[in-house]
Amino acid sequence: MSKYGTIYEALGGAPAVRRLVEAFYPRVQKHPLIGPLFPEDINPVMEKQYMFLTQFFGGPSLYSDEYGHPMMRARHLAFEVTKERAEAWLGCMEEALEEIGVEPELRQFTIQRLSGPAFHFVNTP
């Protein structure tokens, strides 16, 4: 991502990724399509997501250092992931990016980057 370096740097590093995760999960929990897939105690999920996004966006390899290779598709196979759920997840992420003040061009780029994995997890018609 030549204009920004990495998404991690462009967002503002660790503090921004933390704010993003904190803005994202309340939306996820309230969403009727995806909220029920998540545990009531969302804190461990938030921490893993922080670690994963840090790494995915080009920051330190926190997730791999702690848990090994992400293997995200395999980790999501236990859940019925539909195209609609992937879109809902991305919608919550886009709203969270907007809430933390990410400018539109970077927001769009970030959502584009997350769309590949989100739709790769789809395992149910």
Tens-binned pLDDT, residue by residue, of the chain (125 aa): 446 689 999 999 999 999 999 999 999 999 999 999 999 999 999 999 999 999 999 999 999 999 988 877 777 777 899 999 999 999 999 999 999 999 999 999 999 999 999 999 999 98
* Cα separation, 34 vs 24, whole angstroms: 12
> Quick one: pLDDT at residue 22?
98
The Cα–Cα gap between 95 and 88 comes to 11
Which H or E run contains 30? helix 13-30
3-state SS, residue 100: coil
pLDDT for 113 equals 96
pLDDT for the residue numbered 2 = 47
Which two structure tokens, joined as six digits, stand for 111? 């959502």
Is the alpha carbon torsion for 21, 11, 8, 78 positive or negative? positive
Q: What is the pLDDT of residue 79?
A: 85
- List b or e across 19-52, with b for residues whose CB sees 16 or more CB atoms inside 10 angstroms: bbbebbbebbbebebbbeeeeeebeeebebbbbb
Q: At what angle do helices 43-56 and 104-120 cross, to 10 degrees?
A: 110
Q: According to the model, what pLDDT value does residue 21 have?
A: 98
pLDDT at res. 8: 97
User: What's the predicted TM-score (pTM) here?
Assistant: 0.92
